[in-house]
Structure formats: C-alpha cells, structure tokens
C-alpha cells in the first residue's frame, strides 16, 4: 500500500501532464479520463477551466495545427508504438501555448480507445527555435558564416552552433559562461561592452546589436577578427528572461573598409595627421582618464613661424613640402597612445599621454622643435623654418579640453611675443 501511495504521489506531482483520454474511433471525439495535478499546475488555470479546455480540445487548438493534431491521434490509434507531436493551443488565460504530446494506445474495445499520454509545455523552447530561425534566415541572406547561440540565464550555460556549410554542423557548450567571457577570445577592449550587452539582455527584455573582436573561438584565425552579435531576450513563463539567444556574423572585411574610410575622413591628406575635429574629439576622450597628479598628460600646440613668408617666397608647393615634413617629424616623435593632429593651415596639436613630469613634456616638445629647425639644412629653406610651441599639463593646468587649450595657447603666445623658435610651459 505504501508503495502504491508513493507511485501515486509521483504521478500527481510530476511537473507536466500525465493523462489518459478516450477516443471514439467513429466520431473522433476525445474526452479526458484522467488528468494529473501536474497538468493543472502546468496550464496555470483552475481545475474547472482546464477541464473545460480538454473536454473539447479542438476548440482551443490553433486552426493551422488541427490537421497536425488529428494526424497525431490517428498515428497513435494505429498502434505502431509511441507517437510524439507538437501543437499550439489558446490557453485558459488567453495566451498562446505550445504543447508536446507523447502518447500511445493503452487499450481498445470496439470503437472505444484509451490512449495514455505525457503532455509537456514546450512554449519556451519553440519560441527560442522560432527566433533563431528568423535570425538565421535573415542573416543567411547577408553572410555565409552562420553562428547561433543560446545562453540559459538559469544554468549559466551557453550553447554555440556553427553551420559553416550545409553539411558541417557542430556545437560548443560553455559551462559557467559569464565567468568565461574574459578568457573566451574576446579582445580585451571589447570584454566590458560584450558583458554589459549580455547582462542587460538578461535583466531587461530587449533586442541589441554590438560589434566586437575575437580570435580563436569562432574560427582558427591567429589574429582578431570583427564580428557582430545580434541578440534578443526570451521571456519565460514566470515573466523573467530565461534565455538570451542570438546570431553572430563575421563582418571583418566590411569593418576594415569602414575603418579605412573613417581614417580617411579623420585624417589630413597632406600631413597624415588627424584633422582638427578628430583630434579634439580624441583628446577630450583621453583627458577623462587624468584625475590626479600621479598620471600626467600634456597638451602641446605647435605653430610654424613665418610660414606665410615661406609660401610667398618659395611657392605653395614648397609650403606643402614644409607642412608634410613637419607632420612626419611629429608622427615619428609621438607614438602609441599619443594624439597628433593638424588643426590649422600651419598649426598642429599633440596630446602626449603618461609623460611622467612637466620636464618630460618640455623635452618632447624641444626635440620636435629642434628637428624641425634642422630638417631643411643644406637647402634653400635653411634658417627659414622654425616652430613656436606652448605646453599645458593635465591635470595641473586643467582637467578639460577647453581649459588646457586656453593655457597651452597662452604659453604659445608668450613664445611668439618673445622671439619665437622655442618652447614654453604654461605658468613658468
């Protein structure tokens, strides 16, 4: 008796439907004989409402799925073994619900047939499949590479599926996905952006798209390639995001062309330095990292002395040669994270990162001034080309672009008024 009670308890508390239905072979009428408690919990309605739904199941099945449902019942009645099929119904709360029925013929007496079945809610699974298919169909038109992923927010497991050809398919399962992101091949500069995108999708249902760099995970490339991730949040029955699914496409060639076009737009064709707009925007971004005197940056404004005289005497072609030479000297002496730009006809600007001290900033500026001074030795321009340079240090002389520029410009004006061809540090 205890054994029977134990089995009954398991059946009643199974998360899903364990059911028996009577099917009339002649009329095809279906009526429930037994519905376990788990079915009522799964359907989320009162017993009366669920009983009414299954008392005439055809009224609740989506019209497009009626024939599929009827065929599934006929297959079960053929008694060729267990049959499984899926169909959609309008649930007791009015929402659309996917059900998966796994059943077989239990007994037959004349036209009276009893089928036993397990019914499960597969709404979430089907929603994910449909969203992935929509994304896959769309992205397949754009890219040959087809990478989909399904991140389970509850289990912290991400499943990648790669379909590079019609015949080659393989999966990659990543356990503890959130912790694995920094070591998953992402470019260090893109880890935070990717993590923020995923976290946002986990807690706020929405669609998103980001571009990022990765190597070694999506392909066997030894260098970073550009990808675009298109993601969408999938809501579970409880009203929370249960999955984040998406599509990843290789956009490397396209991105390189965009970067090349952007570089052309941002750079001065004569000197190879950035133009005024790009220079100022990048410097403003750089300045934000300087908040104390332990880390110093220097804004340096360089003005070509008597440049109009060079143009008037030797012509514009020679003037262009002078500017191009100065640009080359600046590029060769400021590298790495330094920002170099041409901000006027004969005026240049540099933001030197991590200079260590004010003295170092002046040394860098003096080196450029001396190289320009002697760049034309042995030519007709010898002694005719020099530079006046003003320097302001961040954060000592300002913590925003406007203030630093004003102070560097004042230092430059001081040199212009006191002989030119030299370097002056603001405030000295």
Which pLDDT tens digit goes with each residue over 321-370? 999 999 999 999 997 789 999 999 999 999 999 898 999 999 999 999 99
Crossing angle of helices 401-417/276-287, nearest 10°?
Answer: 120
> Given pLDDT bands bounded at 50, 70 and 90, which one contains residue 142?
very low
Predicted local confidence at residue 340, as pLDDT: 94
Condensed to tens digits (0 to 9), the pLDDT of residues 297-323 reads 999 999 999 899 999 899 999 999 999
**In the predicted model, is pLDDT for residue 133 greater than 80?**
no
Predicted local confidence at residue 290, as pLDDT: 80
**In the predicted model, is pLDDT for residue 270 greater than 50?**
yes
Angle at 377 between CA 372 and CA 378, to 5 degrees: 155
Pairing of strands 423-425, 387-394: parallel
**In the predicted model, is pLDDT for residue 22 greater than 50?**
yes
Q: Annotate 394-411 with b (16+ C-beta within 10 A) or e (fewer).
A: bbbbbeebebbbebbbbb
Predicted local confidence at residue 237, as pLDDT: 67
pTM: 0.47
Predicted local confidence at residue 206, as pLDDT: 80
How confident is the prediction for the chain on average, in pLDDT?
Answer: 87
Predicted local confidence at residue 247, as pLDDT: 85
Q: How far is CA 360 from the centre of its chain?
A: 40
Instruction: Tell me the CA end-to-end span of the chain in Å, nearest whole number.
Output: 99
CA gap 390, 350 in Å, rounded: 11
Predicted local confidence at residue 364, as pLDDT: 94
CA gap 280, 35 in Å, rounded: 71
Condensed to tens digits (0 to 9), the pLDDT of residues 152-181 reads 998 999 988 886 544 445 678 999 999 999
**In the predicted model, is pLDDT for residue 291 greater than 80?**
no
Residue of 268 and 405 predicted with greater confidence? 405
Give burial (CB, 10 Å; 0-12/13-18/19+) of 179. Answer: exposed
Mean pLDDT to the nearest integer, 281-287:
88
CA gap 320, 273 in Å, rounded: 14
- Asked if 94 and 43 count as a contact pair (C-beta separation under 8 A), the reply is no
**In the predicted model, is pLDDT for residue 265 greater than 80?**
no
Residue of 236 and 126 predicted with greater confidence? 126
CA gap 281, 408 in Å, rounded: 17
Q: Tokens 């992205």, residue?
A: 139
Percentage above 70 pLDDT, the chain = 92
Condensed to tens digits (0 to 9), the pLDDT of residues 380-412 reads 899 899 999 999 999 999 999 999 999 999 999
Condensed to tens digits (0 to 9), the pLDDT of residues 227-260 reads 999 888 888 766 788 889 888 888 888 888 887 7
Which of 58-62, 147-151, 204-208 is predicted with the least confidence, judged by mean pLDDT? 204-208
Predicted local confidence at residue 410, as pLDDT: 96
Give burial (CB, 10 Å; 0-12/13-18/19+) of 163. Answer: middle
Catalogue all structural domains in the chain, each as residue range(s) with its CATH number. Answer: 2-121 (3.30.450.20), 125-256 (3.30.450.20), 267-425 (3.30.70.270)
- The pair of structure tokens assigned to 101 is 């029925």
Predicted local confidence at residue 293, as pLDDT: 60
Predicted local confidence at residue 2, as pLDDT: 65
**In the predicted model, is pLDDT for residue 279 greater than 50?**
yes
- The pair of structure tokens assigned to 352 is 């030197």
């Amino acid at each position: 008796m205890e054994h029977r009670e134990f089995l009954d308890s398991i059946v009643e508390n199974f998360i899903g439907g364990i059911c028996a239905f009577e099917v009339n072979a002649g009329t095809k009428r279906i009526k429930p004989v037994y519905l376990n408690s788990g079915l009522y919990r799964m359907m989320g309605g009162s017993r009366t409402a669920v009983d009414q739904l299954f008392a005439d199941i055809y009224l609740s099945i989506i019209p497009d799925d009626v024939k599929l449902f009827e065929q599934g019942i006929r297959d079960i009645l053929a008694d060729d073994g267990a049959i499984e099929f899926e169909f959609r119904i309008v649930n007791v709360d009015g929402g659309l619900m996917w059900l998966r029925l796994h059943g077989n013929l239990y007994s037959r007496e004349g036209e009276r047939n009893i089928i036993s079945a397990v019914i499960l809610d597969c709404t979430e699974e089907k929603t994910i499949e449909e969203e992935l298919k929509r994304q896959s169909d769309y992205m397949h038109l754009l890219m040959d590479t087809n990478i989909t992923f399904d991140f389970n927010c509850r289990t912290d497991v991400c499943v990648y599926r790669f379909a590079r050809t019609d015949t080659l398919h393989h999966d990659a399962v990543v356990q503890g996905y959130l912790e694995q992101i920094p070591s998953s091949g992402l470019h260090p500069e893109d880890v935070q952006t990717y993590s923020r995108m995923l976290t946002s999708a986990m807690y706020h249902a929405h669609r998103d798209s980001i571009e990022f760099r990765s190597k070694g995970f999506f392909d066997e490339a030894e260098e970073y390639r550009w990808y675009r991730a298109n993601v969408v949040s999938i809501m579970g029955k409880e009203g929370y995001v249960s999955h984040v699914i998406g599509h990843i496409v290789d956009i490397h060639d396209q991105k390189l062309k965009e970067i090349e076009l952007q570089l052309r737009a941002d750079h001065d064709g004569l000197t190879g330095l950035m133009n005024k707009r790009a220079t100022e925007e990048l410097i403003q971004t750089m300045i934000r990292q300087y908040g104390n005197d332990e880390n110093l940056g220097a804004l340096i404004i360089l003005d070509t002395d008597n440049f109009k005289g060079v143009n008037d005497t030797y012509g514009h072609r020679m003037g262009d040669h002078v500017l191009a030479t100065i640009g080359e000297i600046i590029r060769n002496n400021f590298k790495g994270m330094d920002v170099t730009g041409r901000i006027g006809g004969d005026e240049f600007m540099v933001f030197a990162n991590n200079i260590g001290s004010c003295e170092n900033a002046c040394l860098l500026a003096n080196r450029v001034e001396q190289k320009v001074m002697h760049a034309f030795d042995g030519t007709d321009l010898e002694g005719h080309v020099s530079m006046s340079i003003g320097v302001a240090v961040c954060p000592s002389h300002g913590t925003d672009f406007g203030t630093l520029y004003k102070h560097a410009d004042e230092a430059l004006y001081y040199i212009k008024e006191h002989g030119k061809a030299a370097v002056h540090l603001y405030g000295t």
